Structure 1
Amino acid sequence: MKAVIFDGPRKVSIQDRPVPRVNDDRDIIIKVQATALCGSELHVYRGHQPSDTGFIMGHEFTGIVVEAGARVKTLKVGDKVVSPFTTCCGECFYCQNEATSRCVHSKLFGSAVLDGGQAEYTRIPMADSTAIQAPKSISDKALVLMADIFPTGYFGVKSAVELRPKVDISQSTFVVIGCGPVGICAIISALHLNPKQVFAVDNVDGRLQTAKKLGAVPLNFDDGVDKMKEQVRNATGGRGADFVIEVVGLSPALKTAFDLVRPFGAMSSIGVHNAEIPWSGADGYAKNVRFQMGRCPVRSIFPEALALLEKKQKDVEFMFDNIMPLSEAVGGYDMFDQMKVHKIVFVP
């Protein structure tokens, strides 16, 4: 089969690989229908996140079950499925407590420990507790967003709000830092709560315009943090934002989040970070900021994220403007790396 292989920083290739087989009787094999490029993959692609080479890329994918292990109970050959970007056992402490992204047996698709879905076929371990039968309520195109980016954007907003449960959302100000696909999903999720306002931060004009069309107030990162702080404080009586969601995964973005949030405000970071936290303990103490960060437990929050996407499918249609054959993946990575497009979906 054809597959997209990571060969090193800014190097991927299309190679022939064996069709995967059931290795464990809880596995399923799927014929991939759609597989998308995610912004978090750029951390590896750009060399920001050190990684071994030689594995199949891709952690956003959908497909049809073509083989199922003997112990698989909830899925059968012919079922259409979507898989969260990490596997989970469904039985450990974390899986039982709505924290599937921290399953003790979890593996990340499209990494050195588990081949991903940018291929004609892929293997899904622990299928009963990992893969999800495709709901009929959303389109085949929108389904691939439920592997990662829509639940992750939703999780960023949900996590921030849960840190300050007594705040009046209708009078609150949100800031979303990063207007790539995950950031747009976070903006959609925040706007759905009907807050007073949502600011969107980026330095790519096309992304800022998309955020504006959805109803957010654009702030250009290149204007500098002082100007952004002034705009946010002018809109909040001098306080700063009640909720800030950081999606980028780079220290300058996280520091900007800290600068824009008000004292006793809430920050949620869902970007993939590899550096130190860019503020001191003294800074945090002086601001009484409430802060959470980390990977989205897609399997745990799938139903509630899906319920929102059902209502917002038209808002994400623009993400399917660039559907291309898997054979063109090398060029697709280059386009995505240069931020020429919002999203790329490959079809094997």
Structure 2
Amino acid sequence: MSMNAVVIYGPHDIHVDKRPLPVLQEDYDAIVRVTAAGICGSELHPYRGHQKTTFGHIMGHEYTGIVTAVGKKVTTVRTGDRVFGLFSTSCLRCWFCKQGYTNRCTRSLALGTAQINGCQAEFVRVPDADGSLMLAPPDIEDELLVMMSDIFPTGYYGAMRAISQLSQPLESSVVVCIGCGIVGICAVLTAVKKGCGAVFCVDTVEDRLTEAKRMGGIPLHLGVDDIQAAVLKATDGRGADAVIENVGNEAALTMAFDLLRVCGHLSSVGFHQSAMPFTALQGYQKNINLNMGRAPVRAVLEEALEVFVQNKNKFTNAISHRLPLEDAAMGYELFSTQKARKVILRP
């Protein structure tokens, strides 16, 4: 038996091929029939050739679907359940998971990478299903729920790591969000809904800035507006209290550091492939509070889902393209060239 699946063979080389149907391999596994799968910004790193990796695997880590089989040790989902999956697996049993660091589970696998085949296919095998699959809320359609696999919890985590330890009241804080793709607007919405006084939003794409403004942010067009002057004016010359960096490149992280005030909070959830653009001495002299890395999606899921459900109507325009699985190559090209906000593939 075989299925259709999106396979990457190299930079800008995406094909839909026949691959064997996945089967249960461990007692904690589940098999899910995919009903909707997203293309994520982090997948553009191997697609554009910026990330060192091997190829030939099935892509995708954002998905919803129906459980078709479960291992004998799976307790939280069963055959027939409508679920959404998380972009990296979590066992919930290791020391790191028990401390809430589900992003660094000792058994963690990032779906759609050289580690394990992903979900841009008709079916997907999900290891450690109890920590990696969640029952779908009944009042959110599949394509919108795909955002809870990665992008909304990541944006939520990025924002909360930036603002949760600020010393002053949130209503008097000035926050900057660098990068207003789909993760960025999720971060903007979170910061606004948590009560931050001003949330500046930086990007080069006008459509993204329009969406960020809809979420309550203050748009600043990179290359057009004087971003540093705007932030300094809003803070009496101090600099931003907190900066959220979602892009994952050296220029964005440099800007984040430069805009941040002394003793400010820098939260970076961009998937970086380069060296740090500022030195340890510079960090010391500025007394920065720095958090970087993959979001612990399973650990923050319940609180992130609550915010998402309350504001789901704000994301009705977030999905710009809905394509059949066989048009995946076109979907990747549209997303890579910034002609799409969010692309959903339907097997």
Q: Shorter-chain-normalised TM-score: which range?
A: over 0.9
Match of 1:37 among 33, 36, 39: 39
**Letter of the structure 1 residue corresponding to residue 49 of structure 2:** G
Shift of 1:196: 1.5
Which residue number in structure 1 is paired with residue 221 of structure 2?
220
Distance 2:144 2:168 in 1: 32
Q: Please give the residue correspondences for 1:5-20 in structure 2 after superposition, counting only pairs within 5 Å.
A: 5-20=7-22
In 2: Cα distance, 1:134 partner to 1:92 partner: 25
What amino acid is aligned across from residue 287 of structure 1 in structure 2?
Answer: K
Distance 2:267 2:227 in 1: 18
Residue 144 of structure 2 aligns with an amino acid whose one-letter code is A
Aligned residue number for residue 284 of structure 1:
283
Aligned residues: 345
Q: Secondary structure at the match of 2:223?
A: helix
| Superimposed CA distance per residue, residues 48-98 of structure 1 (whole angstroms, 9 cap, x where no aligned partner) | 111101000001011100111122122111001111100111111110011
Instruction: Tell me the TM-score normalized by structure 2.
Output: 0.97
Map of 1:49 onto structure 2:
51
Equivalent residue, structure 1, for 2:303: 304
Structure 2: how far apart are the matches of 1:195 and 1:130?
Answer: 32
Distance 1:235 1:307 in 2: 31
Q: Secondary structure at the match of 1:75?
A: coil
Conservation of the 8 A alpha-carbon contact between 2:143 and 2:344: no
Q: How many angstroms does 1:237 deviate by?
A: 0.7
Do the aligned residues in 1 keep the contact of 2:182 with 2:342 (CA within 8 Å)?
yes
Q: Secondary structure at the match of 1:272?
A: coil
Question: In structure 2, what is the equivalent of residue 329 of structure 1?
Answer: 328
The Cα RMSD (Å) is 1.1
Report the identity percentage: 43
Aligned-residue offset at 1:214: 2.3
2:102 is the counterpart of 1:103: no
CA separation in 1, counterparts of 2:274 and 2:227? Answer: 24
Residues 281-313 of structure 1 show CA distances to partners (whole Å, capped at 9, x for unaligned) of: 221111111110010111111100000001110
State the AA in 2 paired with 1:286: Q
Q: 1:125 aligns with which of 124, 127, 130?
A: 127
Q: Which residue of 1 aligns with 2:152?
A: 150
Tell whether 2:319 aligns with 1:320: yes
Q: Distance in 2 between matches of 1:286 and 1:137?
A: 50
Query: Which ranges in structure 2 are unaligned for 5 or more consecutive residues?
Result: none
Q: Is 1:324–1:345's contact at 8 Å kept on the other side of the alignment? A: yes
**Where does residue 188 of structure 1 map in the other structure?**
189
* Residue 140 of structure 2: aligned partner: 138
CA distance in 1 between counterparts of 2:89 and 2:325 reads 24
Q: Is the 8 A contact 2:35 2:142 kept in 1?
A: no
Residue pair 1:25, 1:72 contacting (<8 A) in 2 also: yes
The Cα shift of 1:204 comes to 0.9
Return the alpha-carbon distance in structure 2 between the equivalents of residues 299 and 112 of structure 1.
22
Which 5+ residue runs of structure 1 have no aligned equivalent?
A: none
Q: Which residue of 2 aligns with 1:88?
A: 90
Work out the CA distance in 2 between the residues paired with 1:28 and 1:52.
Answer: 25
Partner of 1:268: 267
Q: Is the 8 A contact 2:319 2:342 kept in 1?
A: yes
Which amino acid in structure 2 is aligned with residue 156 of structure 1? Answer: G
Q: Which residue pairs with 2:205 in the alignment?
A: 204
Does residue 1:170 correspond to 2:171, yes or no?
Answer: yes
| Superposed displacement of residue 194, structure 1 | 2.1
SS at 1:285 equivalent: helix
* Aligned mates of 1:167, 1:78 — CA distance in 2: 48
Task: Give TM-score, length-normalised by structure 1.
Answer: 0.97
Partner of 1:233: 232
From 65, 68, 72, give the equivalent of 2:67.
Answer: 65
Contact 1:163-1:290 within 8 A present in 2 as well:
no
Query: Aligned partner of 2:270: which letter?
Result: G
Q: Deviations over 1:179-220 (max 9, x none)?
A: 000001001101102222110001111111211232211112
Query: How far did 1:137 drift?
Result: 4.6
Pick aligned residue for 1:113 from 104, 112, 115: 115
Q: Secondary structure at the match of 1:40?
A: helix
Verify the 8 A CA contact 2:321 2:340 in the aligned structure 1.
yes
The question of whether the paired residues in 2 share the 8 Å contact of 1:22 and 1:68 is answered with yes
C-alpha distance in structure 2 between counterparts of 1:244 and 1:11, whole Å: 35
Provide the secondary structure at the position in 1 that maps to 2:41: coil
Query: Runs of 4+ in structure 1 displaced over 3 angstroms?
Result: none
